[in-house]
Amino acid sequence: MGWKTKEQQKAYNQKYYQKTRLKQLEDKKEYAQLNKEIISQKNKKYREKNKDKLNEYHREWYNKNKDTKVKDYNNSEKGIKANTKSEWKRHGINIDYFHEVYDRHINIINCEVCNCILTKDKYLKPTTKCIDHNHITGYYRHTICNSCNLKRGFIDSNYLQVIKELKNILS
């Protein structure tokens, strides 16, 4: 290829690099999709083998960035969502369809049982927004206030006793 100027050659090289780079990225994504299980196993082995090294790296990164990046991330929308997902996992909530449940939970303003206005508080209050879930299956049921959540928990744990009392009242 005969270029008249260095600028033409440079422009061609940049264009070629971008085109081939995009193709490489597409191929890499396709490979990752086809070999998900193999890649996952390799990563797991590496993490097990290098656990101390990775922990030290993460500890150093955190200490270096805790004043800026960590706080910024935790206060960002993405960070809040990730922390919520982690918290729900810790409480045994099934997160197979996390994004749908999270969007619904965030957008609900009133308790789905008593219709009171929900609040987001640091410490639990009767109107604090809670996620109601089945403790056996872990599946989401409703977004309700803390007061209704406690009542629901009592009913769930004393289900047979509540049914007997209801039968007595209705009889």
Residues 51-93: tens digit of each pLDDT: 999 999 999 988 888 888 777 888 888 888 998 889 888 888 8
- Domains of the chain, by residue range, sit at 6-47, 94-171
Measured CA distances, 71 to 30, 64, 114 (Å): 35, 12, 36
Tokens of 161: 């006793």
CATH class of 94-171: alpha beta
Measured CA distances, 49 to 42, 43, 108 (Å): 11, 10, 45
Question: How far is CA 1 from its chain centroid?
Answer: 52
Burial state string for 149-168 with b = 16 or more CB within 10 A and e = fewer than 16: beebeeeeeeeeeeeeeeee
The span from the CA of 35 to the CA of 32, in Å, is 5
Does residue 4 or residue 147 have the better pLDDT? Answer: 147
Full DSSP string of 142-167: EEEEHHHHHHHHHHHHTHHHHHHHHH
pLDDT value at position 51?
Answer: 94
User: Is residue 131 a contact partner of residue 100, using CB atoms and an 8 Å limit?
Assistant: no
User: 3-state SS of the chain: helix, strand, coil percent to 5?
Assistant: 70, 10, 25
pLDDT value at position 54?
Answer: 95
| Confidence band, pLDDT 50/70/90 cuts, at residue 41 | very high
pLDDT at 2 over 70: no
